[in-house]
Amino acid sequence: MDFKDTAEEAAFRAEVRAWLEANATPRQSAEETFGPDLTEDERVAAAKDWQRKKAEAGYAALTWPKEMGGRGAPPIQQVIYGQEEARFLVPARVFENSLGQCLPTVGAWASPELAAQYLPRGIRGDDIWCQLFSEPAAGSDTGNIRTRAERNGDEWVINGQKVWTSGAHFCDYGILLARSDWDQPKQKGLTMFILDLKADGVDARPIHQMSGEREFCEVFLNDVRIPDTHRLGEVNQGWTVMLSTLMHERMSIGGVLPTTLHETLVKLARNATWNGAPALDNDVVKARIADAYLSQKGVDLIISRGITALSKGQEPGPEMSILKLVAARGILDIASFAMELAGPEGMLGHEVLGDEYAFMQMMWLTAPGIRIAGGTEEIMRNTVAEYVLGLPREARTDKHVPFRELER
Amino acid sequence: MNFDFSDDQRLLQAEVQKMLAATSTSAEVRRCLEGEALYSQVTWRELLGMGAATAALPAEYGGAGLGYLELCLVAEEAGRHLAAVPLASGIYLAAEALSLGGSEAQKQAWLPRITAGDCIATAALGGAEGYLAGDAPRFDGTALSGSVLLPDGGAADVAVIQAGDDVVLLELSAAGVTREPLVSLDPTRPYARIRCDAAPAQALSGALAGKALAARVRNGAAVLLAFEQLGGAARSLDTAREYSLERKAFGRQVGSFQALKHKMADIYTGNELARAHAFYGAWALSTDAPELPLAAAAARVSATRAYTVAAEESIEIHGGIGFTWEMDCHLHYRRARYLGQLIGSEHAWRAQLADAVITEAA
Ligand SMILES: Cc1cc2nc3c(=O)[nH]c(=O)nc-3n(C[C@H](O)[C@H](O)[C@H](O)COP(=O)(O)OP(=O)(O)OC[C@H]3O[C@@H](n4cnc5c(N)ncnc54)[C@H](O)[C@@H]3O)c2cc1C
């Protein structure tokens, strides 16, 4: 048992590190964020620049097959690249959906011509992609999608509304799941398409989030025309295509989850007092610091188990399915307690309280979203219960009923 | 990165699992529960005989000479099968203390007898909590006085005892030692109290001694116990899961109710979080890493929590039948508490964990 790289992994790590040192600024602390004062347009532009640089150096799509513009590298190299990049201040998140889910789905299901049209551009950062699955009436219950896709000769005509689409307002393309057959049961009448977000009839409007940002959007689709060549997979096979998208998420094990918030908490507790004595001497404070370590280091160690599997050329085990549950709840608990440390002053903005509070306050405001995005905690528990423990699936009354007969 | 056990180590685990499934049966564990035996002799003989219990002890003293990682997996199986044996007291604590802190002569005198099964050892190495006003053990360089609570004290022949700044070795047949078996809430893992009146004893006098030795042994035991707790926690979840698939209410399997599905998903989550920390503890123990106090405390706290929750909720998932003497649920309920308090409670270890995290973050 050890945490060491194999010789091959070490060589790759050294190569990546040297490249990053030559091309990016090292991070001073885990709490530092890239360009906190940039406007969104500037942040997106910076992300595109960085993506292009990575692509030119061959790091943008490490694990993809060579035919698709990748390097055909084993998944462990993607992990190593991610670990090293995390030590530098580079634009994050803008390309997460593009590279993590959308482009791999295009790669797996598009015709060779279509793949050649979109993948190189996507990898180079010329286009940004988003994922248009959720709708007002279809979140956890994705199968309930009502956006209509009607065949008209060589084209499809799309009408409906998507919601919670991250980044749609600055994205160029998206993968869109729509209902192509109302006489089939829910999951059997869906088809996946490539949507051009600049096409006529597409209207993406940012939604004001509780965090104050405007990152996700509602997307209205009005007589939008999609050529049949831009269909991913067979007609009515959209559900299968979507499941393959979610599979890609699984191999990205952990990715962007924070794992050192307990250290941030200790830093804040060092400045805080409790009845005039240092908060760090208080047993309640200490107990919460210990619990913070258990969840944060726990996430890190579970990821290490996943990496071990990848390093051996195996698939990560079922314990990966608890990552988001542990991480999201942990972030919320830690960030809340960080605020409590300062008592009533803990409600003051970091502008007043001090820069050192900025990251925790951001975490507190984003934690509720982390618990929901990509599957709510309840849905994740269902997944663990059904797919890991083999317990009975949720009772369903809608599985074999034609969609048009379902109660609205 | 290789944050996992090797195939060979898993093979050994499978052997131990097979043996314990045949030997440490519910009926066998219940002989101890009913007070018919102080420990399961047949299980103990097998665990020693196949070199499982002695995995981490050097071959020159009769151990299997494998390592701590192997012993961790043995511990997991012992926990899964509720093995009613002096494994924690005799091996994780006493034999480890001898091996790490004994002089050559002390090791030669005792370890071969322990590994051969000719002698049962136990230990009392301090701890944070206390309740009964005691007569704390005192050592004057040659003799020990005072009273000590010993796990497996009824069956043991020799004990390693922390007395003030010393860690001493006491033969329980020595003059001036009297012992008294005590009623315990987990009769499968009984306690006894010994009283010493100037009983002849000797300090362990190897390289590592006194409080440093006690701390090191406690940390190692925390990791090994975490694996034992993980085994018990996984077994509790398995049993609950199987029952929930058989039992029907309101015309369906009770395991199909989301409240129970989510409860079991939460137990699984707690178990796997604890497993991750236990693995880290195993790494720290097996490489003698400076992170051991941190990793051991994290393993201890998370595994204690996991087994406690799994054992409690397993009874709940079984309903009324889970509350009966016949079901093994309460054996886990008792064992989870015993293991969770044997070397100090979750709370005391959480304090150690906090101190280590704060030091590391400095
Ligand atoms: C920050 C953020 C970014 C997002 N980005 C995207 C994106 O880019 N693209 C995209 O398509 N979507 C995106 N989403 C949408 C996200 O996938 C959904 O919000 C999520 O799946 C929940 O669906 P919902 O909002 O409709 O809630 P609902 O499904 O209505 O859930 C309401 C409540 O009911 C519970 N519930 C529902 N079904 C069950 C069940 N079977 N058992 C128990 N409880 C249940 C839920 O857990 C929840 O507590 C994003 C969401 C967030 C918060």
Reported as a single tens digit per residue, the pLDDT across A353-382 is 999 999 999 999 999 999 999 899 999 999
Q: What is the pLDDT along chain B (362 residues), one digit of tens a residue?
A: 899 999 999 999 999 999 999 999 999 999 999 999 999 999 999 999 999 999 999 999 999 999 999 999 999 999 999 999 999 999 999 999 999 999 999 999 999 999 999 999 999 998 888 888 789 999 999 999 999 999 999 999 999 999 999 999 999 999 999 999 999 999 999 999 999 999 999 999 898 999 999 999 999 999 999 999 999 999 999 999 999 999 999 999 999 999 999 999 999 999 999 999 999 999 999 999 999 999 999 999 999 999 999 999 999 999 999 999 999 999 999 999 999 999 999 999 999 999 999 999 87
Residues A298, A290 contacting (CB under 8 angstroms):
no
pLDDT tens, residue by residue, A30-83: 888 899 899 999 999 999 999 999 999 999 999 888 877 789 999 889 989 999
Q: Which of residues 54-93 of B touch A (CB under 8 A)?
A: 69
Comparing CA positions, the residue from B184, B211, B194 lying closest to residue B157 is: B194
B244 to chain A: closest CA residue: A391
CATH code 1.10.540.10 for B7-85: yes
Domain with CATH 1.10.540.10 in chain B: 7-85
Instruction: Please tell me the distance in Å from A326's CA to the nearest CA on chain B.
Output: 8
**Probe target for ligand 1 pocket from A96, A97, A134, with the most ligand atoms within 8 Å of CB:** A134
User: Going by C-beta distance under 8 Å and a sequence separation of 6 or more, which residues neighbour residue B108?
Assistant: B61
CA distance A120 to chain B (A): 32
Name the residue of A105, A131, A140, A382 to mutate for ligand 1: max ligand atoms within 8 A of Cβ: A140
For residue B262, the chain A residue with the least C-alpha distance is A381
Confirm or reject: Cβ of A166 under 6 Å from ligand 1: yes
Q: Do domains A129-247 and A255-388 have the same CATH topology?
A: no
Helical segments of chain B, H only: 7-23, 26-33, 41-49, 68-80, 87, 96-101, 104-116, 210-246, 258-286, 292-318, 329-341, 346-361
Nearest to A290 among B255, B286, B357 (CB): B357
CATH class of A129-247: mainly beta
The answer to whether the beta carbons of residues A55 and A81 sit under 8 Å apart is no
Close Cβ partners of A7 (under 8 Å, ≥ 6 residues apart):
none
* Pick among 1.10.1060.10, 2.70.98.10, 1.20.120.430, 1.20.140.10: CATH of B210-361: 1.20.140.10
Residue A249 is among the residues annotated as catalytic for this protein = yes
Residues in B 2-61 with any Cβ partner in A closer than 8 A: 2-6
Distance from CA of B180 to the nearest CA of A (A): 37
Tokens describing residue B214: 């006690």
Ligand 1 near A131 CB (within 6 A): yes
Contact check, Cβ <8 Å, A263/B256 = no
For residues B310 and A10, give the distance between their C-alpha atoms in angstroms, rounded to a whole number: 40
CB contact under 8 A, B351 and A283: yes
| Chain A residues lying within 8 Å of B354, measured CB to CB | 286-287, 289-290
Task: Specify the length of chain A in residues.
Answer: 408
**Residues in chain B within 8 Å Cβ distance of A325:** 265, 269
User: Would you state the pLDDT for residue A33?
Assistant: 87
- DSSP single-letter state for residue A253: T
Q: Across the interface, do A395 and B264 touch by the CB < 8 Å criterion?
A: no
Could you tell me the CA-to-CA distances from A16 to A62, A66, A81, A199 in Å, in that order? 12, 19, 7, 39
Domain ranges of chain A: 7-94, 129-247, 255-388
CB-based contact, B94 to chain A, within 8 Å:
no
- Kindly report the pTM of this predicted structure: 0.95
* Contact call for residues A309 and A317 (beta carbons, < 8 A): yes
Cβ of A382 less than 6 Å from ligand 1: yes
Residues B336, B319 contacting (CB under 8 angstroms) = no
Residues paired with A278 in a beta bridge: A273
Coil, helix or strand at residue A163: strand
Instruction: Find out whether A333 and A292 touch, Cβ atoms under 8 Å.
Output: yes
Residue B234: burial class (beta carbons within 10 Å; 0-12, 13-18, 19+): buried
Which residues in chain A are contacts of B347 at CB distance < 8 A? Answer: 287
H or E segment to which residue B201 belongs: none
Mean pLDDT for A12-28 is 96
Q: How far apart are CA A213 and CA A224, in angstroms?
A: 28
A98, A161, A164, A170: which to mutate for ligand 1, most atoms within 8 A of CB? Answer: A164
From the CB of A129, is ligand 1 less than 6 Å away?
no
Distances (CA, A) of A13 to A8, A82, A151, A391, B251: 9, 10, 50, 42, 57
**For residue A137, pLDDT beyond 70:** yes
Q: Nearest residue on chain B to A317, judged by CA atoms?
A: B272
On whether the A255-388 domain is CATH 1.20.140.10, my answer is yes
The residue type found at A293 is: Y
Q: Chain A residue closest to B303 (CA)? A: A294
- What is the Cα–Cα distance from A228 to B128, expressed in whole angstroms? 72
Report the gap between the CA of A328 and the closest CA in chain B (Å): 13
CA angle B344, B349, B352 (to 5 degrees): 130
The distance of A155 to chain B (nearest Cα, Å) reads 43
- The CATH T-level fold of domain B121-203 is Butyryl-CoA Dehydrogenase, subunit A; domain 2 (2.40.110)
Nearest-atom index, ligand 1, CA of A131: 9
- Return the structure tokens found at A190: 């869906």
This complex has an ipTM of 0.94
pLDDT surpassing 80 at residue A247: no
Q: Is A134 in the pocket of ligand 1 (CB under 6 A)?
A: yes
Q: Does ligand 1 lie within 6 Å of residue A372's CB atom?
A: yes
CA of A374 to the centre of ligand 1 (A): 7
